[in-house]
């Protein structure tokens, strides 16, 4: 049934002259890792620190859940399961790891669904957030890189994690000194997920020529990315709360300055430093460390920098 739905959508995509294709390519872009990380960073640095921390905590948790489910289920991508599925070529570059559940759908549920969970926004805004989550999820089916159950479970699990994160953040607001225990538990879970992904066996299916169809170790790379981001957020979050304590109650000029400098340096870190680390440290360790550096910069290092500059 799931492959049949993708084939119907594929037939429409190919026979409809590209109608909706560009629009849904843009919608899937809204669920990409760098897109959601930049959105959360801007909110955290310039708009609402508490909102940004909530979104990043929920997203970090979702990356752990996504990685854990992927390496447990080990579901191959649709075009591997059925050669009749021909995904959109431009989208395949971001279709990494195993297929179930959809990472883009969980990213969308984390950021736009996370805003939907909170009651801070107007009804019209929350409708827009809900439509964005739905369209990002559907775009993964339309472009042929995920099955319907991949995105349905991805959205459902993502929203559940955001609800739990919202409740957790409300509890921390009442008991601020207990935040260290939340961080410790999160770090322990991250280590357990990384260990599980590293030691578990993966399917080893071969084609008719005797070549390995999917390398499980490479498919598990998404899990180590999630572990790196999660650990960096938790450590950076605690350090910021103890040592930096910046505020977003600032003038429009300072917001724009943070935005410009923050985005420039974020892309310098992501496009130059992170690939250097990943290439210098082999295997899962390089993936984990490079993603740790990226998130730690967002959560702690850049806030420490601009707080020092603004105070002086």
Where on the phi/psi map is residue 132: left (φ > 0), alpha (ψ -120 to 50), or beta? alpha
Q: Which of 104, 140, 221, 225 is catalytic?
A: 104
Which residue do the tokens 């910069």 mark?
297
β-bridge mates for residue 212, sequence order:
206
Three-state DSSP at 108 gives: helix
Do residues 303 and 242 touch, judged by C-beta distance below 8 A? no
Q: Which of 63, 70, 77, 146 is catalytic?
A: 146
Does 146 qualify as catalytic in the annotation? yes
β-bridge mates for residue 245, sequence order:
none
Which residue do the tokens 């591997």 mark?
80
> What letter would DSSP give residue 93?
G
Cα 184 off chain centre by:
21
Spatial distance between the Cα atoms of 284 and 10, rounded to a whole number of angstroms:
35
Backbone angles phi, psi at 206, to 5 degrees: -120, 150
Do residues 25 and 91 touch, judged by C-beta distance below 8 A? yes
Active site residues: 104, 146
């Amino acid at each position: 049934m799931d492959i049949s739905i993708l084939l119907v959508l594929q037939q429409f995509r190919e026979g409809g002259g590209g109608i909706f294709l560009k629009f849904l390519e843009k919608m899937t872009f809204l669920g990409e890792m760098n897109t959601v990380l930049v959105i959360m960073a801007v909110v955290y640095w310039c708009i609402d620190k508490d909102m940004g921390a909530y979104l990043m905590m929920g997203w970090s948790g979702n990356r752990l859940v996504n990685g854990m489910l992927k390496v447990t289920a080990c579901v191959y991508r649709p075009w591997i399961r059925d050669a009749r599925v021909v995904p959109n070529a431009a989208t395949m570059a971001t279709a990494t790891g195993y297929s179930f559940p959809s990472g883009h759908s969980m990213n969308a549920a984390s950021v736009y669904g996370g805003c939907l969970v909170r009651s801070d926004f107007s009804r019209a805004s929350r409708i827009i957030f809900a439509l964005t989550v739905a369209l990002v999820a559907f775009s993964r089916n339309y472009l042929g890189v995920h099955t319907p159950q991949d995105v349905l479970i991805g959205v459902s699990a993502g929203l559940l994690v955001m609800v739990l994160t919202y409740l957790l953040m409300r509890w921390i607001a009442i008991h601020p000194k207990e935040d260290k225990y939340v961080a410790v538990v999160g770090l322990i879970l991250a280590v357990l997920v990384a260990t599980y992904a590293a030691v578990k066996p993966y399917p080893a299916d071969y084609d008719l020529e005797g070549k390995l169809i999917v390398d499980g170790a490479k498919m598990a790379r998404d899990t180590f990315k999630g572990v790196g981001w999660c650990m960096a957020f938790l450590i950076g979050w605690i350090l910021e709360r103890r040592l930096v304590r910046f505020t977003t109650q600032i003038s429009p000029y300072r917001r724009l300055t943070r935005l410009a400098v923050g985005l420039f340096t974020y892309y310098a870190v992501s496009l130059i430093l992170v690939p250097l680390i990943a290439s210098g440290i082999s295997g899962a360790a390089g993936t984990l460390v490079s993603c740790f550096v990226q998130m730690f910069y967002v959560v702690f290092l850049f806030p420490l920098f601009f707080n020092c500059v603004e105070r002086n």
